[in-house]
Amino acid sequence: MNLGFIGTGKIASSIIYGIFKSSLKISKIYISSRNVNIAKKLKNKFSKIKIVVNNQEIIENAELNMIASVNHLETELAKIRAGKANPIMLKGVSVEYYGNMTPLNQVASISTPNAQTISIQPWEKDLLEEIEKSIINSNLGLNPVNNGESLLINIPPLTEERRMELTKLAKSESESAKVSIRNTRKDANNKIKGLDISDDLKSNLEIDSQELTDKYIKKVDEMFTLKEKDILTL
């Protein structure tokens, strides 16, 4: 018979000691403990004890990677211009400010006075040229006009053909994000398979991994749907 304990506090430790003093036939006892010293002490005393890693870390790390995939998709979708002015188009632009690269929205006010124009008002006038240079070098295809007080960016309306092309691009970026999320699930499941734990525990972790995958795949689909609507709406 194999047993497992999550935690090695006073109660769990007492039970473990009692089991080994009893006549129960135990093949192995698995323990997962936050207190490494207690876990090692038990293992040194009883040869049938096996210390396992915090299994939940596999799931937590997988979720962090999935979140990163979603965040990357958000950045890529923001670069796809929908023919309407939107401050999010400049999300990835940073400006050198007192020797540090600083996000544009931390050194200037960004607004949309109309559907086709983005206005950038630096908090310090001396930053105008630096901001202009950063936008041009960002490879966003935007051409700011410096009027000496602020920067104005004209966003020309899209043709129907161009809207279709951008929708396909948004779809491609979304599918790439899904592939990344599924690869994260695959990596997590491979790690789970390598754990020295019962099949039931492995199955539970794999269910957690799949639920996370479904959650973030759904998020990607929602993001694409919103972007598609943004591109196709005149």
Compute the distance between CA of residue 112 and CA of residue 93 in angstroms, rounded to an integer.
Answer: 17
pLDDT of residue 99: 87
pLDDT tens for 213-226 read 999 999 999 999 99
| Helix axes of 160-193 and 56-78: crossing angle, nearest 10 degrees | 170
Segment 94-98 mean pLDDT: 91
DSSP state, 184? H
Q: Rounded to the nearest 5°, which phi and psi values hold at 174?
A: -65, -40
- 56-76+159-232 and 85-154 in the same fold: no
- Binning pLDDT at 50, 70 and 90, where does residue 183 land? very high
When the pLDDT of each residue in the chain is averaged and rounded to a whole number, the result is 87
Q: Where are the domains of the chain?
A: 2-51, 56-76+159-232, 85-154
Pick among 3.30.1360.40, 3.20.20.330, 3.40.30.10, 3.40.190.10: CATH of 85-154: 3.30.1360.40
Tokens of 135: 């936008």
pLDDT tens for 44-85 read 888 878 776 667 788 888 999 999 999 999 988 987 877 778
Specify whether the CB–CB gap between 95 and 69 falls below 8 A. no
Torsion of CA 187, 188, 190, 193, to 10 degrees: 180
Compute the distance between CA of residue 187 and CA of residue 179 in angstroms, rounded to an integer.
Answer: 12
The CATH number given to 56-76+159-232 is 1.10.132.20
- The verdict on pTM exceeding 0.75 is no
